[in-house]
Structure 1
Amino acid sequence: MLPTESTRIYPRGGLDVLSREEVAKFRDASTGMHDLLRRCALAVLTTGSTSDDPRAAQELYPEFDIEVHQQDRGLRIDLHNAPATAFVDGELIRGVAELLFAVVRDLAYTAIELVPEGGRDLGSSVGLTDAVFDLLRNARTLFPTDPNLVVCWGGHSISREEYVYTKQVGYELGLRGLDICTGCGPGAMKGPMKGATIAHAKQRKHRPRYIGITEPGIIAAESPNPIVNHLVIMPDIEKRLEAFVRIGHGILVFPGGVGTAEEILYLLGILLREENAHVPFPLILTGPTASAPYFEQIDRFLRLTLGEAATSRYEIIIADPAAVAKRMMAGIRKVRDHRIAQKDSFFFNWSLDIPLAFQQPFVPSHEAMAGLDLHHGRKPHELAADLRRAFSGIVAGNVKEDGMRRIEAHGPFEIHGDSGMMQSLDALLRAFVEQRRMKIAGDYRPCYRVVA
Structure 2
Amino acid sequence: MSEQVLNARVSPEGSLEILSRHEVDLLKDKGEGGLYRLFRQCALAVLNCGNESDDAEEIHDAYRDFDIRLVQQPRGLKIELLNAPASAFVDGVMIRGIREHLFSVLRDIVYSHSLLATAKATDQQKPDDLTNLIFHILRNAGVLTHGSHPNMIVCWGGHSISRQEYDYSKEVGHELGLRGLNICTGCGPGAMKGPMKGATIAHAKQRVAGGRYLGITEPGIIAAESPNPIVNKLVIMPDIEKRLEAFVRSGHGIVIFPGGVGTAEEILYILGVLLHPDNRELPFPLIFTGSAENADYFEMMDNFIRAALGEEAASRYRIIIDDPAEVARQMSQGMEQVRDYRRQKQDAYYFNWLLKIDPIFQQPFEPTHESMLGLDLSSRQPPHLLAANLRCAFSGIVAGNVKEQGVAQVKLKGPFEISGDPKLLGPLEVLLDAFVKQGRMKLPGHVYRPSYRIVPAKHPAT
Q: Scaled by the length of structure 2, what TM-score is found?
A: 0.96
Deviations 1:363-421 (A, max 9, x none): 00101000101111210001001000000000000000000000011111111111121
Going from structure 1 to structure 2, the CA distance change for 1:53 and 1:10 (only over 3 Å counts) comes to same
Residue in structure 1 matching 2:383, options 365, 380, 383 = 380
Give SS of 1:313's match.
Answer: coil
- Distance between the aligned counterparts of 1:116 and 1:420, measured in 2? 44
1:19 aligns with 2:20: yes
Residues 221, 402 of structure 2: 8 Å contact kept = yes
1:164 paired residue number: 167
SS in 1 for 2:40: helix
Partner of 2:453: 449
Opposite residue 218 of structure 1, the aligned amino acid is: I
Q: Distance in 1 between matches of 2:381 and 2:9?
A: 56
Map Cα deviations across residues 108-134 of structure 1 (whole Å, 9 max, x no partner). Answer: 112222224665554210010011001
Query: How far 1:6 sits from its partner (Å)?
Result: 1.1
* Counterpart amino acid of residue 380 in structure 2: G
Query: Deviations 1:197-232 (Å, cap 9, x if unpaired)?
Result: 100111111111111100000001110111111110
Do 1:149 and 1:249's aligned partners in 2 also have CA atoms closer than 8 Å? yes
Structure 2: which amino acid aligns with 1:207?
Answer: G
* Structure 2 residue aligned with 1:407: 410
| 1:278, distance to aligned residue in structure 2 (A) | 1.2
Instruction: Give the structure 2 partner of residue 70 of structure 1.
Output: 72
Is this contact kept in 1: 2:276–2:358, CA < 8 A?
A: no
1:149 Cα deviation (Å)?
A: 0.3
d(CA) in 2 for partners of 1:291, 1:120: 49
Superposed CA offset, 1:175-214 (max 9, x none): 0111100000000000000101100111111111111100
Structure 1, residues 96-117: CA drift from partner, whole Å, max 9, x if none?
1000000000111122222246
SS in 1 for 2:412: helix
Q: Deviations over 1:290-339 (max 9, x none)?
A: 11111101101100111111111100000000000000011111000011
Query: Which sits farther off after the overlay, 195-204 or 54-63?
Result: 54-63
What secondary structure is seen at the aligned counterpart in 1 of 2:375?
coil
Residue 174 of structure 1: SS of its match in structure 2?
helix
Shift of 1:57: 2.1
Contact 1:23 1:69 in 2 (8 A): no
Q: In structure 2, what is the Cα distance between the partners aligned to 1:209 and 1:117?
A: 31
Equivalent residue in structure 2 for 1:206, among 202, 206, 209: 209
The alpha carbon displacement at 1:258 in A equals: 0.4
Alpha-carbon distance in structure 2 between the residues aligned to 1:377 and 1:117: 34
Cα distance in 1, alignment partners of residues 432 and 34 from structure 2: 34
Tell me the secondary structure at the aligned position of residue 252 of structure 1: strand
The Cα of 1:254 is off from its aligned counterpart by 0.2
Question: 2:135 is matched with which residue?
Answer: 133
What residue in structure 1 maps to residue 187 of structure 2?
184
Q: Could you report, residue by residue, the CA deviation over 1:240-291 in whole angstroms, capped at 9, with x for unpaired residues?
A: 0000000000000000000000001001101011101111000000000111
Task: Give the alignment of 1:23-422 within 5 angstroms.
Answer: 23-30=24-31, 31-116=33-118, 119=121, 121-144=123-146, 145-422=148-425
Range with bigger deviation, 7-16 or 379-388: 7-16
Contact residue 262 and residue 398 of structure 2 kept, 8 A: yes
In the alignment, the residues of structure 1 paired with residue 46 and residue 120 of structure 2 have an alpha-carbon distance, to the nearest angstrom, of 29
**Which deviates more, 42-51 or 250-259?**
42-51
Q: CA RMSD in A?
A: 1.2
Distance in 2 (alpha carbons) for counterparts of 1:121 and 1:199: 47
- The 3-state SS of whatever aligns with 1:29 is coil
Match of 2:460 in 1: none
Asked whether the 8 Å contact 1:41–1:100 carries over to 2, the reply is yes
Unaligned runs of 5+ in 2: 457-462
What is the CA–CA distance in structure 2 between the aligned matches of 1:70 and 1:309, rounded to whole Å?
A: 56
Cα 1:326–1:120 shift into 2, 3 Å: farther
Tell me the amino acid that sits aligned with residue 66 of structure 1: I
Amino acid in the other structure paired with 1:395: V
Give, as a single letter, the amino acid of the residue that structure 2 aligns with 1:225: N
Contact 2:253 2:286 in 1 (8 A): yes
CA distance in 2, matches of 1:22, 1:104: 10
Amino acid at match of 1:6: N
* Aligned-pair identity (%): 59
Compared CA separation, residues 121 and 349, structure 1 to 2 (3 A): farther
Q: What SS does the corresponding residue of 1:281 show, helix, strand or coil?
A: coil
Q: Which amino acid aligns with 1:147?
A: P
- List per-residue Cα deviations over 1:419-449 (Å, max 9, x = no partner): 1210100000000000000000322111101
Secondary structure of the corresponding residue to residue 67 of structure 1: strand
The letter of the residue matching 2:100 is E
- Could you say what secondary structure the match of 2:294 adopts? helix
Instruction: Tell me the matched-pair count.
Output: 452
Picking from 429, 433, 439, the partner of 1:430 is 433
Question: Contact 1:284 / 1:315 at 8 angstroms: preserved in 2?
Answer: yes
Give the conservation status (yes or no) of the 8 Å contact 2:260–2:435. Answer: yes
